[in-house]
Chains A and B, each alone.
Chain A
Amino acid sequence: MANTSAARIWTMRLTFPALALLIMFFHLLPLNTEPRFWAPPDFLLLLAMTWSLRRPDFVPALSIALVMLLSDFLFQRPPGLLALLAVLACEYLKGRAAPQRESTFASEWLAAGVILTGVFTLNRLVLVVFGVEQAPLSLTVIQIVMTILAYPLAVWCSQTILGVRKLSPSEAETLMSRR
């Protein structure tokens, strides 16, 4: 029952922005000011997505939106766009969270991969439509691939280190009944 107590839920709700700030902190360190030929995975989006699939109650849409908007502002991205896409993707995943409770990891990874590709492609398409200057396509492709490859790592970290697991049916029952 410890997994569904209010204290645990609120701790994890606060842990999410804290972790996000930590990730942003490491992104902002002035270690590499040369242009790179590769792009690291987008860990913020991965974190939001894996948590949305496992414990939707830990990541309310508002907290995802605020975190992604802050990262949009700090990382010099067009503000609001990637945040909007992230919120939409996570809401969709939260909807899938319940029926996917018994599915295998491979199918989950595949679904996440499709959604990640969709998010980054839509992001680029919208920027093209609005006529915003962009980095070369190869960087975006590399970032998509790296992010999809890093998905199991994000899942492993959230499950073993932070204990963000899918609820067992009985736990889900107690959570629903309290609402």
Chain B
Amino acid sequence: MAKGRSQRDDYTTPLRRLLTAVLCLCLAAVFIVWRIDSPRVERFRAQVADQVVPSMDWAMVPVTAAINLVRDFQSYQRLAEQNRELRSELRQMRAWKEAALQLEQENARLLDFNNVRLDPQLTYITGVVMADSGSPFRQSVLLNVGSRDGVHDGWAAMDGIGLVGRISGTGRDTARVILLTDAASAVPAAIQPSGQTALVTGDNSAAPVLSFLENPDLVRPGDRVISSGDGAVFPAGLLIGQVAKDRSGRMRVRLSADYSRLEFLRVLRHHGTEVIQDPGGLVGAAPGDPVPQPRPEGLGDGSAEGTAEAGNG
């Protein structure tokens, strides 16, 4: 450094060096402001993406389509091999289809017995994936729906089958979805059939880790993982995936959503979970009275269990 300085003097004038120093200070200030007041800077970031990315969209769509076309064309080269794989898969699927049909009938019958109404408030907006995070270190995608369409931070995004991530950062025309695989993503989940709760924490690998499991012995590979709705961020009961054990013995989630090609995502409108505050007329206890009233005769054991589970989930 010291040796080069004399030669550098004729190239960079002192004024220029001063301006560079000011520039560096500005950049450092941006970083420190981001660290101190992250939400404000993240909102600004969402606005930057909202300005820049839609203006590239006219070119992004055809280029993406062209590259995917070339990729598809490459896959024709191993058509015969694929055909054989598909045939064997189809045989397996036929067996599964039978099982699914039977389950569907059984499910419909049971729903009919219980007179269940599926949540009518759960509607969705479908958005097209415009861009990904652009960096291998972050896992997120940009959707072409934004605050103009009423999208809010924290809403869940699914593909047709499973949970994909949650909205984090909305611009006017765009919204960013932080995927479950991102290192900053943590979603409260419940594992069925054991009913254990855990956090599905992304770590930049294809299968997020199940952390904060209360009793790992009760959880087996193959168990279903669904969102638990704790923290009132997500609606409960969205399918996330299946439990799997990795080579080092950690519990992970094999995600149900197809992450290899995210093209359309459903953003679920969620207006918060209702909180039950007063005991209500049925129980009728005076506030502060610890002794519960005897249960009315008409309520059977089964329905009592059902409501308890619904409250938990």
A contact residues vs B (CB 8 Å cutoff): 24-25, 27-36, 38-40, 56, 61-62, 65, 69-71, 73-81, 83-84, 87-88, 91, 94-99, 130, 132-136, 139, 143, 176
Contact = CB atoms under 8 A, between A and B. Distances in A.
Interface stretch (B92-100, B215-223, B257-265, B294-302): B257-265
Contacts of A30: 60, 64, 129-132, 141-142, 262-263
A88 B24 contact: yes
30 contacts: A27-B135, A28-B132, A30-B132, A31-B132, A33-B129, A35-B136, A40-B136, A61-B20, A62-B23, A65-B26, A65-B27, A69-B27, A69-B30, A73-B48, A73-B49, A74-B52, A76-B133, A76-B140, A77-B138, A80-B27, A81-B27, A83-B30, A84-B24, A84-B27, A84-B28, A84-B31, A95-B11, A130-B35, A134-B183, A136-B203
B239 to A, nearest CB: 19
A143 B67 contact: no
A25 B7 contact: no
Interface residues of B, number: 61
B14 to A, nearest CB: 14
5 A-B pairs with the lowest CB-CB distances in the bound complex, closest first: A80-B30, A80-B31, A84-B27, A27-B134, A76-B138
B222 to A, nearest CB: 22
A160 B142 CA distance: 36
A97 B4 CA distance: 10
B192 interface: no
Contacts of A78: 31, 34-35
Nearest to B183: A133
Nearest to A96: B4
Interface string B3-35: 011011011100000011001101111111011
A84 B187 CA distance: 34
Given A84-B28, A87-B27, A91-B20, A28 B136 contact: no
Given A25-B56, A65-B23, A139-B204, A31 B68 contact: yes
Contact of A87 (B24, B204, B259): B24
Given A80-B29, A80-B31, A39 B68 contact: no
A98 B59 contact: no
B137 A39 contact: yes
A143 B12 CA distance: 32
Contacts of A74: 48-49, 52-53, 134
A76 B46 CA distance: 10
Contacts of B261: 33
Given A28-B56, A136-B203, A83 B27 contact: yes
A40 B19 CA distance: 33
A6 to B, nearest CB: 18
A143 B136 contact: yes
A28 B131 contact: yes
Contacts of A176: 10
Nearest to A34: B259
Contacts of A87: 20, 23-24, 27
